Amino acid sequence: MAVLVIAETDGANLPRGTLATVTAALALDSEVDVLVLDENADAAAAAASGIVGVRSVIKAGGPGLAGGLAENLTPAVVEAAAGYGHLLAPAGTWGKNLMPRVAASMDVQQISDITEVIDAETFVRPIYAGNALATVRSRDPVKIITVRGTAFAVAEAPGGSASVTDGPEVAAHDSARFVSRELSQSDRPELAGARIVISGGRGMGSGENFELLDRLADKLGAAVGASRAAVDAGYVPNDFQVGQTGKVVAPELYIAVGISGAIQHLAGMKDSKVIVAINKDQEAPIFQVADYGLVGDLFKIVPEIVDAL
């Protein structure tokens, strides 16, 4: 049976997670359709139709798309889902908010955050902050799944030529209203898609000291992240958080600065290709997952790296 990808879109931009979700969908079936639920419907549908491997794009319309509220989107997803064997969405905050609401509406037990497709009903997902990998088989007639973006390659786009058809009309209900959105302004790459990520922990000592990491990030074209401890301490906002309860990243290079390496943090970065740890405590657990370690004062070492570049 065909697979429907519930796409997170941003107008003409296709987030990495959505492209990775298409790859996971193509591992299940060659017939993959994409449902677009974007206020900027035409631009989003045009972008989605360029994803290589997609058969057709279903473009939702209507006043309920504004703000992207799960209360409004859910009935449209349920309507569009008829006839599909699998519904897949990226496991970012957008998909995490929406898909369980869809799943309960369809009396399906969702499978969250899969990292591998074994067969049409069997999937691998991390549990306990990635300290264990569970292989689960679903007995539900329809599988509803969120996909961990870092675990799948991104589908190619543009290059595809999927047809675009008009889909469900999304009504605006008055039980929930969108008020405002404050997105972090940054010229740096997004954490989830960055080739290089530099994260700071409690060892940074203050929010001001993150400037040190900014300088290194600017030189490397890297994104800046943080451990939960640094977020808890108020050094940086929560959207910097890498870990079990924050973002999961798997860049080519991850540099952990002043991060001890709590299990909760490792869950979000241990699949990075090369891990570098800088910490004054040589017993810090971060060194157990690091490919390269430097023991010493980060306030001395980080500027030395900047100078050596």
Partner 1 sequence: MKILVAVKRVIDFNVRVRVLPDGSGVETDNVKMSMNPFDEIAVEEAIRLKEAGTAAEVVAVSIGPARCQETIRTALAFGCDRGIHVETDQPPEPLAVAKLLAGVVAVENPSLVILGKQAIDDDSNQTGQMLAALLGWPQGTFASELVIGDGAFDVTREIDGGLETISINAPAVVTTDLRLNEPRYPSLPGIMKAKRKPIEARTPADYGVDVAPRLETVSVAEPPPRPPGRMLDSAAELVHILREEKGIL
Residues 68-127 that bind partner 1 (CB under 8 A): 69-71, 74, 92-94, 96-105, 107-113, 122, 126-127
Question: How far apart are alpha carbons 289 and 89 in whole angstroms?
Answer: 30
Q: Cβ of 23: how many Cβ atoms within 10 Å?
A: 20
Q: Of 275, 236, 281, 271, give the one whose Cα is nearest residue 254.
A: 275
Phi, psi of 147 (to 5 degrees): -115, 130
The number of residues that bind partner 1 (CB under 8 A) is: 90
* Minimal distance, residue 102 CB to partner 1, in Å: 8
Asked if residue 281 binds partner 1 (CB under 8 A), the reply is no
First-last CA distance in the chain = 52
Of residues 4 and 290, the one with the C-beta less far from partner 1: 290
Per CB under 8 A, contacts with partner 1 among 238-257 are 238-239, 244-245, 247, 252-253
Question: How far apart are alpha carbons 122 and 91 in whole angstroms?
Answer: 18
Q: Cβ of 240: how many Cβ atoms within 10 Å?
A: 22
Judged by CB under 8 A, the residue of 66, 134, 171, 297 near partner 1 is: 134
Of residues 174 and 208, the one with the C-beta less far from partner 1: 174
CB crowding 82-121: b at 16 or more within 10 Å, else e: eebbbbbbbbbebbbebbbbbbeebebebbbbbbebeeeb
Per CB under 8 A, contacts with partner 1 among 148-207 are 174-184, 190, 192, 196
Pick the stretch among 22-30, 31-39, 62-70, 162-170 that binds partner 1 (CB under 8 A).
Answer: 62-70
Asked if residue 132 binds partner 1 (CB under 8 A), the reply is yes
Asked if residue 227 binds partner 1 (CB under 8 A), the reply is no
* Minimal distance, residue 165 CB to partner 1, in Å: 27
Tokens of 171: 């009504």
Check if the beta carbon of residue 114 is closer than 8 Å to that of residue 123.
yes
* Minimal distance, residue 13 CB to partner 1, in Å: 12
**Would you give the binding string for partner 1 spanning residues 5-44, x where CB under 8 A is met?**
----------------------------------------
Of residues 153 and 309, the one with the C-beta less far from partner 1: 309
Q: In the beta sheet, which residues pair with residue 242?
A: 247
